[in-house]
Amino acid sequence: MTGPVTRNLGDFSVNRVGFGAMRLAQRGTALIPDAVPRDRAEAITVLRKAVELGVDHIDTASFYFSPAHGANELIHDALAPYPDNLVIATKVGPRRDAAGGWLPQATPAQLRGEVERNLRELGLDTLDVVNLRQSGMDSVAEHFGVLAELRTAGLIRHLGLSNVKREHVAQAQEIAPVVCVQNSYGLGHRPQQDEFVRACAEQGIAYVPFFAIAGAGREAGAVQAEAEAVLTVAKEHDATPAQVRLAWALHQGPNVLVIPGTGDPGHLAENVAAGELRLSADDLELLAEVHRA
C-alpha cells in the first residue's frame, strides 16, 4: 500500500502526487539557455488541468525560465487568484542571468532578493514553502539562518532543503524547523537515499524526490531502455512504466511526496493516477532487484 492519499507538508495537507514546474517553460532538456520555449497557452492549459485533477502542491523556482517566459509567471497567469488549498513551494540558491546562463550560487546577503523575486513573480505576500537548494556547502547554517529570519518576518511560512545530506538537515534543524527535503531519488537511482527517506519520516519531515521517473537521466528524462521488471509490473496493473516508478517512490515511506513534471495533458493525467496504484509485495520484491542493481 502507498499509505494515505494525502500527507502533511508543514501544517498543510497535500495530495501525495504534486506537480513539478521545471519543464513548464521549456521543451526537452530543461534549464539550458537555448532550450525551446513551451507554448504559453499549452503550459497554462496543463497547469489548470493539474488543479482540476486534484493537484494541490506545485513545486517551482524563479530560475525555471525560458527566453519567452518563466514558470512562476505561468503559474500566476494560469491560477491566480489561487485556490485556498493550493500550496506553492519554491526554492532559492541557484541563479541564472537574463540569457539563461548559470551564475554563482546566491550568497546569504542575496537570498532576500531571491525570496522577494519569487513573491513578486507569483503575486504573493507570503511564500508557502521555500527550499534552500545547496551546492557544495559544508554547512547550510548561514544561508538557512537568513531564510529563518525571513520566515520570522512573515515572508515565508515553511522552510525546506534541497540537494542535501543528513548533516545539512541537522544543521538547519538547530535554527528552524525543516518541513521537507527535496533530493534526487527514484527506482534504481541513488539507493543510498533509502535510509535518508526513513530518517526524514522519523523526524516528521516530508521527503520529496525529484527525477522519480527520469532517474539518472535527470533533466533530459529517462534515457535508458526500461527494466524488464518494471515492464512486467506495468503490464500486470495495466499501467505505464512511469506510473510504476511513481508508485514505487510513494511506497518507500508515508512521508514521500512526488512532483512529476510534464507539459503533456495526457502524461499529467497518468502521473496523477499513479497515486492510486497499489503495488503488491511481489511487485515490490521484483522492483527491489532493479533498485539494488
Please report the beta strands in 123-261, taking only residues with DSSP state E, as ranges in sequence order: 127-133, 156-162, 180-184, 206-210
By the 8 A CB rule, do 103 and 71 touch?
no
Catalytic residue among 64, 82, 185, 207: 64
Tell me the β-bridge partners of 183: 209
Tell me the helix, strand and coil percentages in the chain, rounded to 5.
40, 20, 40
Phi-psi region of 239 (alpha: psi -120 to 50; beta: other; left: phi over 0): beta
Supply the DSSP symbol for 259: -
Opening angle at CA 135, ends 111 and 206, nearest 5? 80
64 is catalytic: yes
For the chain, report the end-to-end CA distance as a whole number of angstroms. 23
Instruction: To the nearest 10°, report the CA torsion of 104, 105, 109, 114.
Output: 110
Name residue, grid cell 496523477: 272
List, by residue number, the catalytic residues.
64
